[in-house]
Chains A and B, each alone.
Chain A
């Protein structure tokens, strides 16, 4: 990429959509999965290849594999069969996709992205397609189509924004998921999804952090927290008989700014005296299986219930993570339940029964904390966040796959004094993706990420100019990992933080020392102001 900032220019499509040829240009695609990662998971056709290669070394009967795979999925998923049939191409979804808005590539219009698959479905699975072929919108399944699928199904973040606007509820994420499953049958996976999945499978988390390093990492966090608050918190790991198992995305204990959110959780659990344990085995809440296949999702997710059963906890609490919660909320109980060895979650502090989670028995930390705040169980000093003017980015999956909209806002409004919403068409169920979701947040894909994140950045820029917003709060590990880059590029001066980091800043802990720093180790606003005052007096 050049040093000039990207110009986002809407332009009308010129080509013919039926032509599948794509150009794998640097910055617009993800690298192929390394063979060792496919092997680690027992996935087909491991080989050394890259999308830029002319020959993708597909298995000999690749066409049969795809068609057989499609048939199987059409029979297993009503969503897939239905969404292949009922689109009327009304175009309501077109300008709802952040990738289309950012690239003007017509195949990024959700209806066209789906049409890439539908055209093959029509040609091979419908009477009209078999008789009339191209006239009925059918296309032959060629190798070029496979390459096109790879390009565009890994240029969709499965954020489901289009499905909010579709009059029939057609969810492109469903189609993209099927597309990725089918590509996976040929061994056409991306490394950024497959490597974390392989690591998660064997070691326990996406980053491949082994149990002793997991412990080190948490203890290091506890040291840091002690320095800031003067309080030493416990780090219970794999402790049997705890009441609650706490599961978070692994980025929380290994990446910034996620890490400050971890400090927030730790402060909170200590303050309320929660009887809980971390697990080094189920040390990942996120699930990159969601981005490759339903089967992989189930294989990776199984750990959470298995570990809860082994440790004998009563219920499970989950940290801040977007797609993790899509899996936990919409898939886990169905895939790996019933969780009859657990109990309906009850807050040990307020006595609130989380009836809405009575079957899955897993509660989102924002639900848990909002309940604590509502019952006035926490003392907060929101002035400690006065250096921030905050806006909230609804992470796609909790917003559109769950409806977790008010809980994080409630926490933010209690923990911070300055909170400003972005424009209505860019938040809540209409929230814009960070541009890096669904496992495509890798650096080789940077141009697409920046383009896809453009609508989100636009909305942040709006509140930055209008209200001086300098902090984007969110509850998604991928957001926290990729939005700093996005902000730096489009809206310099806006930082990214988790909701529980801000809660942790504001939380007045029993027996804490005089707080001079926030969880980032930066001086608190009051302290900073005092430090600045004498200079003003001198002047």
Chain B
């Protein structure tokens, strides 16, 4: 059902973009200029707002999840990255987490054989996730060639690497294949795994559908409808320099593409996609496990009602005395009062 809703929303977005394409002038300007600006604004402001909101809640306790040996005695080797004992180690741990998805790499799969669980390696989720995210990164960087003039050297180099195999003309991008395969894998996984299907929300399907729509429309432009790249670049640079010009003949597929990208950008801050920013703030990962070596301060620490030693000694005075457990005279109300 959630998948259906996602597809419907996607279809509506596509339909709107197509309609706009049929109305040159107003319609194209709206989709190619106004919506992208609005989306970008929402994207940037939304992200700042969300991150600021997280940051405004303090981290009262040092609660890293330790995934290796602690640093204790000098002759015991500690796991410097999986259980960092200092800030540098924590940075390293975060780098592993963000760049290589360290935790996901641990994934295993519980399978039952005759009342016995066996835990086999299961790296597909890790591979699929990593492939998708890196392909997305490469794709985003490649798009810089449309936005910046002259095109930066590294973007050209990246473009060269991405089209390394020189299949077809225009050359097929590796990242195109990878991103489609990875998204398809993630989507089929969500549909086939009963546990995942059970809990998958609209946002889970919508994000995947939107990304697939963006990737497919992009590829359609490049390989099938052969979009007028010069016209697109003129528009892109116009947008980037705040002097937007609406060129002729960018085509409906381009409008669909830019509509979906705008939708993604505007949706981003309000969705689970914010995990991109959130992972950096995760207190179980970004803190060193040194709470016994260095005091962690809780900004809202407040005094609480305790049962003090004095109260305790008073209550158990006779029993303590009888048992011969030393009484503390400083707290002994009874011996302090004269007989």
Contacts and interface: CB of A to CB of B under 8 A. Distances in A.
A374 B75 contact: yes
Contacts of A370: 73, 76
A161 to B, nearest CB: 9
Contacts of B117: 101, 454-455, 458
Contact of B295 (A94, A359, A455, A461): A359
Chain A interface size, as a band, is 35 or more
Interface string A348-375: 0000101111111010000100110010
Contact of B76 (A82, A91, A331, A406): A406
A53 interface: no
Q: Name which of B65, B103, B195, B298 has the most chain A CB atoms within 10 A of its CB.
A: B65
Interface string B4-16: 0100000000000
Contacts of A1: none
A234 B164 CA distance: 78
A330 B305 contact: no
Interface in A298-345: 298-299, 302-303, 306-307, 310, 329-331, 333-335, 337-338
Nearest to A410: B76
Interface in A414-436: 423, 425-426, 428-430
Given A167-B129, A238-B326, A425-B108, A359 B201 contact: no
B291 A77 contact: no
B198 A13 contact: yes
Nearest to B273: A88
A506 interface: no
A171 B62 CA distance: 13
B82 interface: yes
A86 B278 contact: yes
A88 B70 contact: no
Contacts of B154: none
Contacts of A127: 270
Contacts of B59: 77-79
Interface in B287-313: 289-298, 300-301, 304-309, 312-313
Contact of A17 (B194, B198, B307): B198
Given A78-B54, A169-B284, A212-B322, A400 B66 contact: yes
Given A85-B274, A92-B107, A329-B291, A335 B301 contact: yes
Contact of B57 (A75, A86, A136): A75
Nearest to B73: A371
A91 B193 contact: yes
B68 interface: yes
A405 interface: yes
Interface in A223-245: 237-240
Interface of chain B, helix or strand or loop or mixed?
A: loop
B38 to A, nearest CB: 17
Interface string B104-139: 101111101001110100000100010000000000
B27 interface: no
A404 interface: yes
Given A79-B63, A334-B301, A356-B71, A91 B289 contact: no
B106 to A, nearest CB: 6
B304 A299 contact: yes
Contacts of A92: 103-104, 107, 125
Contacts of B106: 164-165, 430
A200 to B, nearest CB: 9
A81 B57 contact: yes
Contacts of A101: 110, 117
A115 interface: yes
Contacts, number: 308
- Which of B79, B296, B304 has the most C-beta atoms of chain A within 10 angstroms of its own C-beta? B304
Contacts of B275: 86-88, 168
A377 B117 CA distance: 42
Interface in A124-167: 126-128, 135-137, 160, 163-167
A310 B57 contact: no
Nearest to B322: A212
A357 B312 contact: no
Contacts of B201: 89, 136-137
Nearest to A168: B279
Contacts of B97: 167, 169
Given A85-B50, A331-B61, A334-B61, A106 B198 contact: yes
Contacts of A423: 119
B319 interface: yes
A76 interface: yes
Contact of B199 (A111, A294, A425): A111
Contacts of A523: none
B66 A303 contact: no
Contacts of B65: 160, 163-164, 169, 171, 400-401, 429
A169 B292 contact: no
A215 interface: yes
Nearest to B331: A310
A315 to B, nearest CB: 11
A196 B307 CA distance: 15
A7 interface: yes
A12 B278 contact: no
A224 to B, nearest CB: 19
A174 interface: yes
A42 B274 CA distance: 40
A253 interface: no
B281 interface: yes
A426 B108 CA distance: 11
A337 B306 contact: no
Nearest to B324: A215
B283 interface: yes
Contact of A95 (B56, B57, B110, B319): B110
A295 B101 CA distance: 35
B242 interface: no
B54 A85 contact: yes
A109 interface: yes
Nearest to B307: A201
B102 to A, nearest CB: 8
A70 B285 CA distance: 24
A247 to B, nearest CB: 14
A167 B292 contact: no
A298 B304 contact: yes
B78 interface: yes
A185 interface: no
Contact of B282 (A169, A310, A358): A169
B66 A359 contact: no
A475 to B, nearest CB: 14
A339 to B, nearest CB: 8
Given A78-B57, A81-B53, 9 more contacts: A101-B117, A106-B198, A168-B285, A333-B291, A352-B73, A354-B72, A405-B70, A407-B76, A462-B116
28 contacts: A12-B198, A13-B194, A78-B59, A79-B283, A81-B54, A82-B282, A89-B201, A95-B109, A96-B110, A126-B270, A137-B201, A160-B65, A174-B284, A212-B325, A215-B323, A281-B312, A299-B305, A333-B292, A333-B295, A334-B61, A334-B296, A356-B70, A362-B292, A402-B66, A403-B70, A403-B289, A404-B70, A406-B77
In the complex, the 4 A-B pairs of residues with the closest C-beta atoms, listed nearest first: A403-B70, A12-B194, A86-B278, A212-B323
